[in-house]
Amino acid sequence: MTIPSKRPPAARVTIACPDRFTVATVFFLFFLRFEPQIDYLCPSKSNAMDQTDLQPLYDNYHRKIAKIDLRFKRYLYRQINWKTRIISIRGPRGVGKTTMLLQHILENYEDIDQTLYVSLDDLWFATHNLMDLVDWADRHGISRLYLDEVHRYDEWSLILKNIYDNYPDMSIVYTGSSLLIMDNAVADMSRRQTPYTLYGLSFREYLELEGILHVEPISLEDLLCSHVKKAMDIVGRIRVAPLFETYLSHGYYPFYRESVEDFPSRLRETVTVVIDTDLPAVENVTFETLQKVKKLLMIISEHVPFEPNMSELWKQLSTDNESGLKMLYALDKAQILALLTAKAKNYKSITKPDKIYLGNPNLMHVLCPKVDKGNERETFFISQLRVLHDIRYPRQGDFLIDGKHLLEIGGKGKSFKQIADLTDSYLAVDETEVGHGSRIPLWLFGFLY
């Protein structure tokens, strides 16, 4: 069986035309023009798929799940309502989306072949159709599929909509690039799914993954009110300072555990793949645009935190304002950058950011020629707070959280001078184990998720 996964070109037919077309002839020609597209979204009429066809998928599935460990789970695992019919999990490469899917299978299926995990970037789909696979699974009593890397499959949103509408007993858990915005998908899936976004490891998760410390996340309100008690409990059990420095250099992405020595090159490669592969999969971009995105990233990396002079920046890139802003916001969605704005970010109506950071401190250690300590502190803070909270650029101070908490970031000698007499204002200070009053240790903000 050879079933193309990509839509074949429309059929070209030459017909001797009479002087007058009948309505039936016109309808026939119209249907023939679109019939390949209809077939692409449906199971093959000559579907003879059997276990032999699926064996490569099962081999890959079994090989991956054999390496899965259930002792550590990401923060998002407990937040997902796994009973929902269609669950989407977005996030950047390397933060553990695939592992979460396989952990859920291993934890919930005594027989793992009662379900099926597949990655849609598998070469198998070069000669097979996803709808045929779904139809086969439905006929063989499989009621849930775990689909990885959906953005690598053409018309993925239309196919998911078709599954939802035509296979009422089938549920889907799928992952995709953090670049995906469901409102912009070909088929509107927003009413049919529950979306989640996965970020990199928090400092708390890093300590748990390393087997050093296991504590529950601390809510922001609890942290602001009870930070002295929380910090004293933790510093009484571990030496925070050296562990925090290690986390800042290579603790955000779980794949550091495979090889700390190779981590910098792996992370550079990951960023390159996001730009060269993931971005074209979800946006209509040219090769020239991709090169400009890379140049933009390197310009920002050399100047972070970047307070942009847009006209000068676009001049360096030989681009216009609209195209340049689209590049910036694409890197923000990919979590490679973190754009700070005074108003809420709107990906449908993009505006000039007030300040630009790299997405996390690990990226600074890999992409920046020299890591500035003050910038590293602010980058850490925004990487931890953006996961669960709204973070804005304020008139005074460094960050406004949820429209009410004003935070200034600095070293242990930092004073309240810049935010003096402002209500609900705090200092997040580095090189401090335990704070007092409104002075809170910076590292403690790594325990929010």
Q: Which residues is 407 bridged to in the sheet?
A: 399, 426
408 within 8 A of 397, measured Cβ to Cβ: yes
Determine the Cα–Cα distance for residues 428 and 64; give it in Å rounded to an integer.
41
For the chain, what percent of residues have pLDDT higher than 90? 75
Beta carbons within 10 angstroms of residue 83's beta carbon:
8
Does residue 437 register a pLDDT over 80? yes
Rounded to an integer, the average pLDDT of 121-126 is: 95
Residue 281: predicted pLDDT: 83
Cα-trace Rg, the chain: 25
Q: What is the dihedral of CA 83, 86, 91, 93, to 10 degrees?
A: 100
The C-alpha angle with vertex 385 and arms to 211 and 428, in degrees rounded to 5, equals 90
425 within 8 A of 419, measured Cβ to Cβ: yes
List the structure tokens of 399.
């960050």
Any idea what DSSP says for residue 93? T
For the chain, what percent of residues have pLDDT higher than 70? 87
CA 238 to chain centre: 31
Rounded to an integer, the average pLDDT of 194-216 is: 97
CA 127 to chain centre: 28
Listed in sequence order, the residues at least 6 apart from 441 whose beta carbon sits closer than 8 Å to its beta carbon are: 227, 231, 240, 428, 429, 432, 433, 434, 435
CA atoms within 13 A on the CB side of 324: 21
Rounded to an integer, the average pLDDT of 52-60 is: 95
In the chain, where the domains are located:
51-197, 205-447
Any idea what DSSP says for residue 7? P
Does residue 135 register a pLDDT over 70? yes
Residue 11: predicted pLDDT: 43
337: amino acid identity, one letter? L
Residue 44: predicted pLDDT: 60
363 within 8 A of 271, measured Cβ to Cβ: yes
DSSP string of 164-199, one letter each residue: HHH-TT-EEEEEEETT--GGGSSS--TTT-EEEE--
Describe the crossing of helices 321-333 and 287-301 by its angle, rounded to 10 degrees. 70
CA 46 to chain centre: 37
Rounded to an integer, the average pLDDT of 127-136 is: 95
Determine the Cα–Cα distance for residues 126 and 403; give it in Å rounded to an integer.
49
**pLDDT tens by residue, 228-276:** 999 999 999 999 999 999 999 999 999 999 999 999 999 999 999 999 9
How sure is the predictor about 306, in pLDDT bands with cuts at 50, 70 and 90? confident
Element holding 89 (H helix, E strand): strand 86-91
Q: Is 428 helix (H, G, I), strand (E, B) or coil?
A: strand
Average pLDDT over the chain, rounded to whole? 89
Residue 8: predicted pLDDT: 42
Listed in sequence order, the residues at least 6 apart from 284 whose beta carbon sits closer than 8 Å to its beta carbon are: none
Beta strand 144-148 with 171-177 is parallel
Class of domain 51-197: alpha beta
327 within 8 A of 362, measured Cβ to Cβ: no
Determine the Cα–Cα distance for residues 359 and 351; give it in Å rounded to an integer.
19
* Segments of 278-374 assigned E as strands: 337-340, 355-358
**pLDDT tens by residue, 177-196:** 888 754 445 456 666 788 99
Determine the Cα–Cα distance for residues 128 and 54; give it in Å rounded to an integer.
10
Nearest C-alpha neighbor of 36 from the set 17, 13, 54: 13
Determine the Cα–Cα distance for residues 151 and 175; give it in Å rounded to an integer.
8
Listed range (44-48, 179-183, 214-218, 347-351) with the worst mean pLDDT: 44-48
